[in-house]
Chain A
């Protein structure tokens, strides 16, 4: 297993595996999103208090989860860049930031739209909401920084260091509902405990989560592949690959 992970450090091997994996992820995403959203919008029951607006859960929860998960992935890539100086990790970090930004924006907008009928307001300066907004600015800041410094020597390391500083926001967002008395509700799905929602809502939520995770995975891998080819264009293996793509 370790040998396999080590081999992924080679751009050629990474490109070969990621091509196959990204295609598979796209198929899973298309099926799971259609099934999860279709089930959630058309067949899952409305909430007795929130009515139909609860159907935003099949979109908001996966988007919010992904906004944090993608940043965690970026932090792992940043560590790989700083410790082992593997180029692919730097490219993966930048590609993931683009997808993370969209997911964070989606989580904020859908949360705001859900907040209006549920809380009676579009926005409150609640710890969870403010933390998520800061995360959006961190993503935007990283992308802006990447745009400014481009591919200069040491660019990957600078972005990796900034990414690690931004990591402080993740536990604040995750534990904000426990540390402070907030308007935002606590976690609905817990890894170590029984879920707090009925199975008729849980299953479409999990399927939507799988679909959106696969879609994000496809987008990240695809962007990484093309950015990798652009960086490695002088290499002989790119020349042989070009005919296949």
Chain B
């Protein structure tokens, strides 16, 4: 009974850990995109000012 319960808790733990990983990937994706675009815009404006 105890073994069964701990097995069930492992499945629950694994699911939430996987969800946390997925959510982290999404946050990293958004932040990476933001950094890429801002850096691109910064370079573009610098180039425009130079011209």
Chain A residues with CB under 8 Å of chain B are: 37, 41, 50-53, 55-56, 59-60, 63, 98-99, 102, 105-106, 109-110, 113-114, 116-117, 215, 219, 222-223, 226-227, 229-230, 233, 238-239, 242, 245
With A41-B12, A229-B41 given, is the CB distance from A52 to B34 under 8 Å?
Answer: no
Q: Nearest Cβ distance between residue A104 and chain B, in whole angstroms?
A: 10
How would you classify the secondary structure of chain B's contact residues: helix, strand, loop or mixed? helix
From B15, B41, B42, contact of A110 by CB (8 A): B15
B: number of interface residues (CB 8 Å): 29
List, in ascending order, chain A residues with CB within 8 A of B45's CB: 239, 242
How many Å from the CB of B5 to the closest CB on chain A? 6
Which residues from B are CB-within-8-Å of A56?
A: 11-12, 15
Select from chain A the residue with minimum beta-carbon distance to B4.
A51
Q: Which residue of B lies closest to A238 (CB)?
A: B41
* Least distance between B4 CB and chain A CB atoms (Å): 7
Residue from the list B15, B30, B34, B40 in contact with A114, Cβ < 8 A: B15
Q: Which chain B residues in 7-49 approach chain A with CB under 8 Å?
A: 7-9, 11-12, 14-16, 18-19, 22-23, 25-27, 29-30, 33-34, 36-38, 40-42, 44-45
Query: In this complex, what residue of A is CB-closest to B27?
Result: A219
B positions within 8 Å CB-CB of A: 4-5, 7-9, 11-12, 14-16, 18-19, 22-23, 25-27, 29-30, 33-34, 36-38, 40-42, 44-45
Q: Is the CB of A116 within 8 A of B11?
A: yes
User: Can you list 10 residue pairs at the A/B interface with Cβ under 8 Å?
Assistant: A41-B12, A50-B8, A52-B8, A53-B11, A55-B12, A59-B19, A113-B11, A117-B7, A226-B34, A230-B37
Across the interface, do B15 and A98 meet the contact criterion of CB distance under 8 Å? no
Interface pairs A-B: 4 shortest CB-CB: A52-B8, A53-B8, A226-B37, A226-B33
